[in-house]
């Protein structure tokens, strides 16, 4: 296959993701029985986010600076499973440059990635020779592994001798100025609640101006209240609420989200930590000092920060070159071809 062949195949996959057939929709229904976090709504939301990037024009523009001569190298991919198809970008990067992808799926994947990979092979049968789904990586030349801070230590031990990208826990932050419109605050709700807040691009920390009216924020995100009907999310909400009540921790509660003042970035599920500020310089200093723990920032303000900055509501729809942890995957692959 030429790179143009691969781009054409992925563009066709994108069309399918944007308009999946009835059989696929039926299979998605069964996936949420195996992993309740993988709801049909969230799977289709991810299909749309990925599909809109898989156009010939976008793929050509993204890959044009990178060229791989014919390679037989195998890239080991350890994929996370916290949200649907969270590792797709690594698979795409590997395959579109002509490498072989040896893929270790998360047990949480529930068969979703297999459905998408099988569709890709249906579209372009030659991908069959570039895709290996395995229980354990072996015989790979370089590796991209995504996990927690704990698993990263094991990844570094097992994969440290090979060229690698090893990703750890990251979270995302939103910065409010107090001048946001209701529409912008509603969009912020997507940054917080999409995929139940389980993704590294999910906002878990909120910076607000001193004396900011919390009710304004709560009123704007009320449209997301149906999230409390998901029993696993609601169990986390109830648990964390009980802990705060028992401990006497001050917090705000709108019935489906808890806001707690805390300087940390990573918050429990159904909780967003907040921190007040008097100047944006304080916020910028905080973010830049912790850039290794931050995936991205969303705000209506122009911030002088080193972390990727998105408009409110934009964190969950990264472009092809919005690389996880700021590491250019295509550059890494071509440097090790």
The sign of the CA dihedral 164, 322, 200, 102 is negative
Edge-to-edge strands of the sheet including 309-310? 252-253, 258-261, 271-277, 203-209, 171-175, 294-299, 309-310
- Domain ranges, ordered by start, for the chain: 3-169, 171-310
Amino acid 67: pLDDT: 85
Query: What's the Cα-to-Cα distance from 257 to each of 28, 222, 239, rounded to whole Å?
Result: 28, 10, 12
Do the beta carbons of residue 145 and residue 106 sit within 8 Å? no
Amino acid 68: pLDDT: 83
Q: What three-state secondary structure class fits 167?
A: strand
Structure tokens at 196: 């139940």
**Rounded Cα gap, residues 233 and 197, in angstroms:** 10
Amino acid 69: pLDDT: 78
Give the helix ranges, DSSP H, for the chain.
3-18, 22-34, 40-51, 56-63, 88-96, 112-123, 149-159, 182-193, 214-220, 231-247, 280-289, 329-335
Burial state string for 58-81 with b = 16 or more CB within 10 A and e = fewer than 16? bbeebbeebebeebebbbbbbbbb
pTM given for the model:
0.95
Amino acid 70: pLDDT: 83
**Rounded Cα gap, residues 159 and 145, in angstroms:** 9
337 residues of the chain, pLDDT tens digit each: 899 999 999 999 999 999 999 999 999 999 999 999 999 999 999 999 999 999 999 999 999 999 887 889 999 999 999 999 999 999 999 999 999 999 999 999 999 999 999 999 999 999 999 999 999 999 999 999 999 888 988 999 899 899 999 999 999 999 999 999 999 999 999 999 999 999 999 999 999 999 999 999 999 999 999 999 999 999 999 999 999 999 999 999 999 999 999 999 999 999 999 999 999 999 999 999 999 999 999 999 999 999 999 999 999 999 999 999 999 999 999 999 8
- Show Cβ contacts of residue 292 under 8 Å, excluding neighbours closer than 6 positions: none
Fold agreement (3-169, 171-310): no
Structure tokens at 83: 């949200």
Query: What's the Cα-to-Cα distance from 258 to each of 172, 176, 180, 250, 331, rounded to whole Å?
Result: 17, 17, 21, 10, 40
CATH architecture of the domain formed by 3-169: 3-Layer(aba) Sandwich (3.40)
Amino acid 12: pLDDT: 98
Do the beta carbons of residue 168 and residue 145 sit within 8 Å? no
Angle between helices 22-34 and 112-123 (to 10 degrees): 150
Q: What is the CATH number of domain 171-310?
A: 3.40.309.10
């Amino acid at each position: 296959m030429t790179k143009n062949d691969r781009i054409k195949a992925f563009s066709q996959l994108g069309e399918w993701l944007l308009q999946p057939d009835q059989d696929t929709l039926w299979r998605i229904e069964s996936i949420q029985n195996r992993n309740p976090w993988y709801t049909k709504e969230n799977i289709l939301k991810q299909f749309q986010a990925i599909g809109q990037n898989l156009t010939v024009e976008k793929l050509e523009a993204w890959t044009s600076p990178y060229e791989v001569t014919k390679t037989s190298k195998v890239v080991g991919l350890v994929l996370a499973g916290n949200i649907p198809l969270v590792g797709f970008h690594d698979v795409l990067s590997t395959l579109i440059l002509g490498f072989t992808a040896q893929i270790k799926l998360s047990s949480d994947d529930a068969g979703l990635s297999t459905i998408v990979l099988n569709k890709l092979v249906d579209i372009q049968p030659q991908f069959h020779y570039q895709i290996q789904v395995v229980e354990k990586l072996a015989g790979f030349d370089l590796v991209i592994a995504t996990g927690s801070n704990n698993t990263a230590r094991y990844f570094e031990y097992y994969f440290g001798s090979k060229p690698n990208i090893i990703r750890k826990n990251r979270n995302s932050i939103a910065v409010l100025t107090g001048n946001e419109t209701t529409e912008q605050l509603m969009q912020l709700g997507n940054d917080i609640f999409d995929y139940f807040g389980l993704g590294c691009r999910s906002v878990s920390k909120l910076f607000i101006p001193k004396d900011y009216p919390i009710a304004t924020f709560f009123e704007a995100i009320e449209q997301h209240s149906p999230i409390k009907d998901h029993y696993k999310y609601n169990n986390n909400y109830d648990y964390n609420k009980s802990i705060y009540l028992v401990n006497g921790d001050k917090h705000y509660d709108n019935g489906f989200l808890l806001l707690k003042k805390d300087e940390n970035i990573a918050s429990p599920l159904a909780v967003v930590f907040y921190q007040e500020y008097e100047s944006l310089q304080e916020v910028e200093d905080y973010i830049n000092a912790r850039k290794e723990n931050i995936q991205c920032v969303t705000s209506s303000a122009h911030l002088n920060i080193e972390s990727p900055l998105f408009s409110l509501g934009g964190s969950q729809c990264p472009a092809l070159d919005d690389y996880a942890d700021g590491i250019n995957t295509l550059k890494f692959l071509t440097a090790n071809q």
